[in-house]
Amino acid sequence: MGGWFAEASNWWFLVLAVFIAVSALRVVTATNVVHAALFLVAALAGTAGLFLVLGAQFVAWVLVLVYIGAVIVLFLFGIMITRAPTGPKVEVDNPRKGFAATAAVLTFAVMVFSSISAFGGETVSKVGTGTATELIGNQLMSRFVLPFEVVSFVLLAALIGGITLARADESPADEEDDEGGTA
């Protein structure tokens, strides 16, 4: 029994892929928003594990720090600050969920078929010791500088939005009334 089964990295890939698929399914089917965010943490952690299996340690740890450490925490703070309903009280049932499931399965089948027909039996060469951080930095600051800056502005907008939501729910007119403008 050789080939695919002999490689330990293939088994790790299989385990992580199943873990990610189950976590992603729970993200979209959870009725509690906080639970959905925590399942998203699990899916992202599994993705970081895939990057570790591929030998891209830097990308894996950036994913953990940026997405799990910052974005998910921002989601949870947003949920808590806006006092969004977090329990199963909100009706999340959709009458067209059968159509959505069929569309998802068909899309997945098309993606698998096109991947197999495009790449066939080609194998991926081993990555080796990982990608140099210097090469990633050079690519970010030269070829991909525009997307990098766009992402920074999106994160800045998210920060400003979070601060705006966290402020008291008073308009400027309400603040003037509180200072004794009318008696």
Is a pLDDT exceeding 70 seen at residue 11?
Answer: yes
Q: How far apart are CA 124 and CA 178, in angstroms?
A: 68
77 and 5 in a single domain? The answer is yes
Q: Is residue 60 located within the same domain as residue 4?
A: yes
Burial class of residue 2, CB neighbours in 10 A (0-12, 13-18, 19+): exposed
Write the CATH number for 14.
Answer: 1.20.120.1200
Which residues span the domain enclosing 145? 132-167
**Per-residue confidence (pLDDT) for residue 49, from 0 to 100:** 94
Tell me if 123 is assigned to some domain: no
- pTM for this predicted structure: 0.59
| pLDDT score at 6 | 73
Which tens digits make up the pLDDT trace of 54-93?
888 888 888 898 888 888 888 877 777 776 555 556 565 6
Domain-embedded: residue 57: yes
d(CA 67, CA 76): 12
Q: Is the dihedral of CA 92, 96, 98, 100 positive or negative?
A: negative
Distance CA 134, CA 39 (A): 33
* 16, part of any domain: yes
If we measure between CA atoms, which residue out of 81, 65, 84 comes closest to residue 158?
A: 81
Residue bearing tokens 């891209």: 56
Q: Per the structure, how many domains does the chain have?
A: 2
Residue 99 lies in a domain: no
- Name every residue whose Cβ is closer than 8 Å to that of residue 60 and which is 6 or more positions away in sequence: 48, 49, 51, 52
* Proportion of the chain above pLDDT 70, given as a percent: 75
pLDDT at 165 over 60: yes
